[in-house]
């Protein structure tokens, strides 16, 4: 009995040890088995994630506009911002995958090309409005008031872009700063400080002093702008010699007699010997050479970009831009601050969303800032910094800082004249410079009236 009990006890002990050994084996291998399982699980998870990524974010989704093709028309020329514009477009394309292609027009061809495309309703997806976003292209442009960058458009820009309608149609990156451009160095050498000229009486006195010093002050020649850029000072702006803006807009305006004082102003300058004998035939090269060498000291009605051109020709001379003289006692001084560099999006574009994204990029990116610096004029976006690298921008900023109370308004012909009148003024300017007699002045007024009536009627045909 004792032997049997001992044998049974031995068996139980063996079985117990075996059981312990089995449990120990499982416990010792469990961590390895778990790690292997976790690795496999991680691999499976990664594969599932990759599959999910393939489904929700296919290749190229980090470039949301991959393959979208758009046309962008420009009139900007080499050396005047075209290289910077190309870089802006290339940067946007690289970041988004879009394929925006520039169609580059000669400046002289741009307006007619856009008019043709408007007539056929085949507008580019993105285009420069060259001063006419609201007045000419409004019905073709996508409103931008609700775009995130629109908050940065300054008061000058909004006043021009929105007008009375309250709707902004484009991205205005710069505004023009167009008034009197002076060769400051030569003026000061001859006892004339352009910054001290406030009224028309001051202006006449300064011109006489320069003429007496043997200088031909004006470098103006046969540009339509000689008559249009100051048209509002005589006929339309709030402090004009006479205010006829409403009549000009509704088609009832009469050029005679309200426009005649402007013709008389130019006749006075010719009689004073303040203009060149070849004023009606002078070309731009001669104009630039005379200003850059100090033979002339004033372009009456031009932008700061012109001053930059002359300064590059001769860095020894400095220039300033001043507002137009007050046209009458107590009048505010004016600067034509119309659209500078402005672009918009065609409201029927198949890729309107891409176009609007490009406007946002142009308004907020470093590449957009570079373009603004090159374009000169006044930056229209408050988030953009003024660049002292641009001579034109520097002069525009100086003008605004010295004359914060001056009125910066849209260019007169854009705001108040029917489309096509620029060409008429371009014909009448050399006619006036060749013959400034009373008889020819009346003839010019008749021609302006006839063309105004015809073009206003054509623009308002139903």
Q: Is the model's pLDDT at 24 over the cut of 80?
A: no
Residue 274 in domain: yes
Average pLDDT, the chain: 85
- Provide the residue range defining the domain that includes 89: 69-176+339-385
Residue 319 in domain: yes
Predicted confidence at residue 462, as pLDDT, reads 60
| 367 shares a domain with 305 | no
pTM: 0.75
pLDDT tens digits for range 352-378: 999 999 999 999 999 998 888 888 777
Q: Is the model's pLDDT at 173 over the cut of 50?
A: yes
| 330 shares a domain with 197 | yes
Residue 117 in domain: yes
| 127 shares a domain with 275 | no
With a pLDDT cut of 90, the percent of the chain lying above it is: 60
Q: How far apart are CA 175 and CA 393, in angstroms?
A: 10
Q: Sign of torsion, CA 332 336 341 347?
A: positive
Paired with 143 in beta bridges are none
| 217 shares a domain with 77 | no
Q: Which of 370, 385, 400 is the last residue of a domain?
A: 385
Q: Is the model's pLDDT at 58 over the cut of 70?
A: no
pLDDT tens digits for range 381-437: 989 876 667 788 889 889 988 998 898 888 899 889 998 899 999 999 999 999 999
| 208 shares a domain with 320 | yes
User: Do the Cβ atoms of 316 and 90 come closer than 8 Å?
Assistant: no
Predicted confidence at residue 417, as pLDDT, reads 94
Q: The CATH number of the domain where 246 resides is what? A: 3.40.190.10
The pLDDT-based confidence of 43 (bands split at 50, 70, 90) is very low
pLDDT tens digits for range 208-220: 999 999 999 999 9
The pLDDT-based confidence of 303 (bands split at 50, 70, 90) is confident
Q: Is the model's pLDDT at 32 over the cut of 50?
A: no
Average pLDDT over residues 161-182: 88
| 427 shares a domain with 311 | yes
| 305 shares a domain with 216 | yes
| 202 shares a domain with 136 | no
With a pLDDT cut of 70, the percent of the chain lying above it is: 85
| 84 shares a domain with 210 | no
| 183 shares a domain with 317 | yes
Residue 16 in domain: no
pLDDT tens digits for range 76-115: 988 788 999 999 999 999 999 999 999 999 888 888 899 9
Average pLDDT over residues 303-329: 94
How many angstroms separate the Cα of 449 from the Cα of each of 158, 240, 403, 435? 31, 20, 35, 19
Q: Which of 350, 385, 420 is the last residue of a domain?
A: 385
Average pLDDT over residues 62-80: 90
Q: Is the model's pLDDT at 160 over the cut of 90?
A: no
Residue 93 in domain: yes
The total domain count for the chain is 2
pLDDT tens digits for range 246-302: 999 999 999 999 999 999 999 999 999 999 999 988 888 999 999 999 999 999 999
| 314 shares a domain with 209 | yes
| 332 shares a domain with 238 | yes
The pLDDT-based confidence of 10 (bands split at 50, 70, 90) is very low
Q: Is the model's pLDDT at 446 over the cut of 90?
A: yes
Average pLDDT over residues 330-345: 91
């Amino acid at each position: 009995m004792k032997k049997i009990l001992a044998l049974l006890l031995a068996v139980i002990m063996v079985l117990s040890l075996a059981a312990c050994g089995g449990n120990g084996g499982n416990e010792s291998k469990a961590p390895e088995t778990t790690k292997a399982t976790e690795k496999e699980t991680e691999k499976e998870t990664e594969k599932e994630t990759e599959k999910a990524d393939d489904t929700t974010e296919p290749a190229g989704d980090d470039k949301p506009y991959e393959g979208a093709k758009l046309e962008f028309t420009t009139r900007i020329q080499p050396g005047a911002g075209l290289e910077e514009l190309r870089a802006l477009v290339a940067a946007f394309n690289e970041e988004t995958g879009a394929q925006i292609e520039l169609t580059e027009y000669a400046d002289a061809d741009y307006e007619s090309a856009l008019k043709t495309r408007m007539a056929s309703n085949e507008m580019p997806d993105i285009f420069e409005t060259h001063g006419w976003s609201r007045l000419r292209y409004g019905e073709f442009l996508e409103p931008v008031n609700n775009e995130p960058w629109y908050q940065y458009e300054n008061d000058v820009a909004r006043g021009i872009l929105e007008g009375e309608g309250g709707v902004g149609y484009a991205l205005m990156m710069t505004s023009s700063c167009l008034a009197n451009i002076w060769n400051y160095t030569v003026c000061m050498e001859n006892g004339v400080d352009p910054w001290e000229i406030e009224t028309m009486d001051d202006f006449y006195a300064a011109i006489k002093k320069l003429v007496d010093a043997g200088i031909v002050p004006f470098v103006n020649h046969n540009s339509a702008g000689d008559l249009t850029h100051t048209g509002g000072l005589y006929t339309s702006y709030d402090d004009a010699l006479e205010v006829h803006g409403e009549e000009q807009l509704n088609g009832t305006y009469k050029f005679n007699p309200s426009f005649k004082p402007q013709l008389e102003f130019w006749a006075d300058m010719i009689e004073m010997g303040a203009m060149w004998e070849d004023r009606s035939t002078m070309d731009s090269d001669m104009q630039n050479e005379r200003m850059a060498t100090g033979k002339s000291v004033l372009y009456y009605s031009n932008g700061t970009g012109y001053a930059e051109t002359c300064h590059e020709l001769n860095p020894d001379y400095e220039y300033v831009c001043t507002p137009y003289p007050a046209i009458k006692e107590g009048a505010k001084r004016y600067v034509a601050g119309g659209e500078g560099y402005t672009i918009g999006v065609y409201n029927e574009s198949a890729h309107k969303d891409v176009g609007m994204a490009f406007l946002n990029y142009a308004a907020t990116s470093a590449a957009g800032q570079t373009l603004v610096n090159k374009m000169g004029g006044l930056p229209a976006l408050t988030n953009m910094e003024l660049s002292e690298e641009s001579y034109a921008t520097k002069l525009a900023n100086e003008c605004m800082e010295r004359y914060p109370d001056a009125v910066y308004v849209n260019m007169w012909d854009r705001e108040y004249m029917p489309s096509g009148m620029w060409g008429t003024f371009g014909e009448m300017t050399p006619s006036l410079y060749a013959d400034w007699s009373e008889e020819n002045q009346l003839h010019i007024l008749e021609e302006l009236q006839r063309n105004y009536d015809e073009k206003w009627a054509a623009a308002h045909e139903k």
